[in-house]
Amino acid sequence: MRIATLGLSHESNTYAPVPASLDRWLAAGPVAGDALVAAFAESDATPGGYLELAADPDIEVVPLMHYRLTPMNAITAEAYEKMVGHMLSELEQQGPWDAVLIDLHGAAVSEDYRDADGETLRRVRSLLGPGVPVGVTFDMHGNVSQKMIDNATVVNTYMTNPHLDPRIRGRQVADLIVQTVRGEISPVMALEMPPVAINILRQGTSDSPMKELVAFAHEQATRPGVLSVSVAEGFPYADVEEMGMAFLAVTDGDPSLAAEIAKVCAAEAWKVRAELEGDGVPIDDALKRAAAATSYPVVLLDVGDNVGGGSPGDSTHVLAAAQRLGIRDLFHSLCDPGAVAACKEAGVGASVELEVGGKTDDLHGSPVSITGTVRLLDDGKFEDPGATHGGFRFYDAGHRAVVETSDGHTVLLNSRPLGNTSRQELISAGIDPLTQPIIVAKGVHSPRGAFEPIAAEMIWTNSPGCTSADLSGLAYQHRRRPMFPFEPDATY
Ligand SMILES: [Zn+2]
């Protein structure tokens, strides 16, 4: 049995300042062949689950290619055509295939295709024809569409946020696809999309009510004849028709059972829709609370600069407020390649005066003046073998500099946008997260895997930015209407 594995993973924030252009995709380092295996086989990311099939002597897993890029605005038309074209030509040249496994995000938007993942699957299906099983694993933030489902054989999503189970969910799809090829099962799918968007602050799967909704779906998955049940939380920062929650059931040849399960799961979510809304703490209040804490570290989540959701990673709203309030002892990272270059020029031990961050757009604050001492310069590469969001292992922040400021902060300057999802990010830069009083983490749920185990307290701030928790400021043109919470009277 020959199975191709592919990936094209992008979460597109249509409110973000920077487009996902071809040069950025190429700089992020697409991988193919042995490099794909090296990048993922030992990771907890989705392709790690697909590659596990290679342990079966009857199966040849061909690692064709994998593209992945940090969330930003839509994929440019040029980049989309180039990458999908590459994918299709490799599929054609290296085939025939018994099956294909694809790691897609589910919230990709391109300039030409609002449902870019649906379009990718349509093209793959039309190349392969109807007889070749196609398995897909989406991120839990996917905005899942009927077009995606219609062009695949088995689809599931992660069921954890922070995402700690991509490899497990990848393996589930891979196993179901192998069983399909062997003629042991005949998967059918049903998708249900209740008109509800979940606030980013309510998406954690260890918190109510997501915890119970996920448990309910897992319970449904144990019914006879059911192969898989998924809950997609959706990604509210993509202005697309399919934006919102979705429930997906896969059964063995029983379409009415699949439809019933997708519907009962959706109905459970609809019942608790009011609890799926939420608000963060104003920045000043969050900082004062952190400064008054008696046990540390306090982790302050910069929700509006959620790099994993498409923000630029250079928001200065929290740092500027700390300076204004005279609050000390923050660990704060910023993407600012120019400031890193200035630190390199000055050298370790030198005193520097810098204007840092706030340079991408008007949404994420203005540059902040800092004076201090350069304590570290490095290439920004670090590795985290532990459990982190998305299951990634190798990180690259570009060249970095650590500046100890004269007002008591530790500022980590990166050359590439990077959310704070790994304790190794700090440790590799000589910063002990256990003794750091206040850690500002750019993210919402993605930093939880790293910091919740050590945090005395986690505080989600209502910081402005293109991933702000306050969705009322987003001008949607393409979402469904009516939809809860935007139209509170929406019915389902
Ligand atoms: Zn996600």
Where does the pLDDT of residue 391 fall: very low under 50, low under 70, confident under 90, or very high at 90 and above?
Answer: confident
Where does the pLDDT of residue 457 fall: very low under 50, low under 70, confident under 90, or very high at 90 and above?
Answer: very high
* pLDDT of 388 higher than 80: no
pTM: 0.88
Best CA proximity match to 90, nearest among 119, 128, 121: 128
Residue 331 exposure: Cα atoms within 13 Å on the Cβ side: 25
Provide mean pLDDT across the span 136-150: 98
Sign of CA dihedral 120, 124, 129, 135: negative
> What is the DSSP code string of 384-426?
--S--GGG--EEE--SEEEEEETTS-EEEEESS------HHHH
**Spatial distance between the Cα atoms of 202 and 234, rounded to a whole number of angstroms:** 12
Q: What is the whole-number distance in angstroms between the Cα of residue 418 and the centre of ligand 1?
A: 15
Helix, strand, or coil here: 11? coil
The share of the chain scoring above pLDDT 70, in percent, equals 100
CA angle 275, 278, 283 (to 5 degrees): 160
Where does the pLDDT of residue 127 fall: very low under 50, low under 70, confident under 90, or very high at 90 and above?
Answer: very high
Where does the pLDDT of residue 19 fall: very low under 50, low under 70, confident under 90, or very high at 90 and above?
Answer: very high
- pLDDT for 367 equals 98
- pLDDT for 191 equals 98
Q: What is the whole-number distance in angstroms between the Cα of residue 350 and the centre of ligand 1?
A: 40
Q: What is the whole-number distance in angstroms between the Cα of residue 139 and the centre of ligand 1?
A: 5
- pLDDT for 46 equals 97
Helix, strand, or coil here: 102? strand
Provide mean pLDDT across the span 250-263: 98
- Give me the count of residues in the chain: 492
How far separated are the first and last CA of the chain, in Å rounded?
A: 44
Best CA proximity match to 346, nearest among 369, 371, 368, 329: 371
Q: What is the whole-number distance in angstroms between the Cα of residue 210 and the centre of ligand 1?
A: 14
Provide mean pLDDT across the span 41-56: 96
* pLDDT of 279 higher than 90: no
Both tokens assigned to 471: 């969705």
Q: What is the whole-number distance in angstroms between the Cα of residue 108 and the centre of ligand 1?
A: 12
- pLDDT for 76 equals 98
* pLDDT of 153 higher than 90: yes
Residue tagged 């969330």 (tokens): 71
Where does the pLDDT of residue 259 fall: very low under 50, low under 70, confident under 90, or very high at 90 and above?
Answer: very high
* pLDDT of 470 higher than 90: no
* pLDDT of 389 higher than 80: no
Both tokens assigned to 231: 């809950």
Q: What is the whole-number distance in angstroms between the Cα of residue 105 and the centre of ligand 1?
A: 8
Q: What is the whole-number distance in angstroms between the Cα of residue 221 and the centre of ligand 1?
A: 22
Q: What is the whole-number distance in angstroms between the Cα of residue 40 and the centre of ligand 1?
A: 18
Q: What is the whole-number distance in angstroms between the Cα of residue 353 and the centre of ligand 1?
A: 37
- pLDDT for 343 equals 98
Q: What is the whole-number distance in angstroms between the Cα of residue 141 and the centre of ligand 1?
A: 4
Both tokens assigned to 152: 């695949």
Q: What is the whole-number distance in angstroms between the Cα of residue 327 and the centre of ligand 1?
A: 32
Residue 35 exposure: Cα atoms within 13 Å on the Cβ side: 8
Both tokens assigned to 158: 């992660």
Question: DSSP class of residue 196?
Answer: B
Both tokens assigned to 3: 């199975």
Where does the pLDDT of residue 390 fall: very low under 50, low under 70, confident under 90, or very high at 90 and above?
Answer: confident
Query: Is 8 in contact with 67 (CB distance < 8 Å)?
Result: yes
Q: What is the whole-number distance in angstroms between the Cα of residue 206 and the centre of ligand 1?
A: 15
CA distances from 47 to 82, 127, 140, 206, 393 (A): 21, 22, 16, 25, 13
Sign of CA dihedral 108, 114, 115, 117: negative
* pLDDT of 278 higher than 90: no
**Spatial distance between the Cα atoms of 492 and 490, rounded to a whole number of angstroms:** 7
Q: What is the whole-number distance in angstroms between the Cα of residue 11 and the centre of ligand 1?
A: 8
Residue-wise pLDDT for 215-245, tens only, equals 999 999 999 999 999 999 999 999 999 999 9
* Amino acid present at 359: K
Query: Is 158 in contact with 211 (CB distance < 8 Å)?
Result: no
Provide mean pLDDT across the span 104-130: 98
More confident residue, 366 or 362: 366
> What is the DSSP code string of 80-138?
HHHHHHHHHHHHHHH---SEEEEEE-S---BSS-SSHHHHHHHHHHHHH-TTS-EEEEE
Both tokens assigned to 327: 């609050």
Q: What is the whole-number distance in angstroms between the Cα of residue 140 and the centre of ligand 1?
A: 5
Residue spans of beta strands (DSSP E) within 99-242: 99-104, 134-138, 154-157, 187-192, 226-232
Query: Is 164 in contact with 389 (CB distance < 8 Å)?
Result: yes
* Amino acid present at 335: C
Best CA proximity match to 382, nearest among 420, 334, 336: 420
- Average pLDDT over the chain reads 96
- pLDDT for 386 equals 81
Q: What is the whole-number distance in angstroms between the Cα of residue 291 and the centre of ligand 1?
A: 31
Largest CA distance in the chain: 69
* pLDDT of 393 higher than 90: no
Q: Which residues contact 237 (CB under 8 A, 6 or more apart)?
A: 13, 14, 15, 16, 309, 310, 466, 467, 474
- pLDDT for 392 equals 78
Q: What is the whole-number distance in angstroms between the Cα of residue 354 and the centre of ligand 1?
A: 34
Q: Which helix (H) or strand (E) holds 170?
A: helix 166-181
- pLDDT for 385 equals 86
